[in-house]
Amino acid sequence: MAGSLNKVLLIGRLGADPEIKQMVNGKSVARLSLATSQTWKDKNTGERKEKTEWHRIVVFNEGLVNVVQQYLKKGAQVYIEGQISTRKWKDEQSGQDKFSTEIIIQGYNSSLTMLGGQSTNQSIPSQNNQISDDTTQVRDDLDDDIPF
């Protein structure tokens, strides 16, 4: 369909350490659990409320999988650009159809950017501020660059 767009932008924190697996073709894939939250003040009670959404992120880009494995841990803050995808499979035990909706990071139109302060980026050497390959980039935002 011409004129359509499938683009997802998220900023959140990892709810667990990344999971790295080998695919049948020998390439690696990274799976991330990303939490995004919104807060508001209840008009009736004045109480502060919060809602958290959990997103499944799948990284197919080999260069980014290595960066994810090396630098990202539970609690790390990241900015994700990817595409939403729903896959379907049959549960072998029950025979029922199962569905999973994921944010896919693959190809030229996707990226993963590490955000946050000292805890996330402390061990990353300065020469790796920009880690990129042909299609995506990972950037380390250093606190020193923030003017406030």
For the stretch 39-84, pLDDT in tens is 999 999 999 999 999 999 999 988 899 999 999 999 999 999 999 9
Q: What is the dihedral of CA 14, 135, 63, 84, to 10 degrees?
A: 30
| 132 pLDDT above the threshold of 60 | no
Rounded to whole angstroms, the Cα distance separating 22 from 41 reads 45
Rounded to whole angstroms, the Cα distance separating 31 from 100 reads 13
**DSSP state string for the chain:** -TT----EEEEEEESS--EEEE-TTS-EEEEEEEEEEEEEE-TTT--EEEEEEEEEEEE--HHHHHHHHHH--TT-EEEEEEEEEEEEEE-TTT--EEEEEEEEE-STT-EEEE--SHHHHTTS-GGGSEEE-SS-EEEB--GGG---
How many CA atoms lie within 13 Å of 55's alpha carbon, on the beta-carbon side?
A: 25
Q: Which residues pair with 102 in a beta bridge?
A: 85
User: What domains are defined for the chain?
Assistant: 8-39+50-143 (2.40.50.140)
Q: What is the pTM of this model?
A: 0.72
State the pLDDT at residue 108.
83
Give residue 135's pLDDT band: very low, low, confident or very high (50, 70, 90). very low
pLDDT tens column, 77-127: 999 999 999 999 888 899 999 999 999 999 888 999 999 864 443 333 222
Rounded to whole angstroms, the Cα distance separating 106 from 108 reads 7
Burial state string for 63-74 with b = 16 or more CB within 10 A and e = fewer than 16:
bbbbbbeebbee
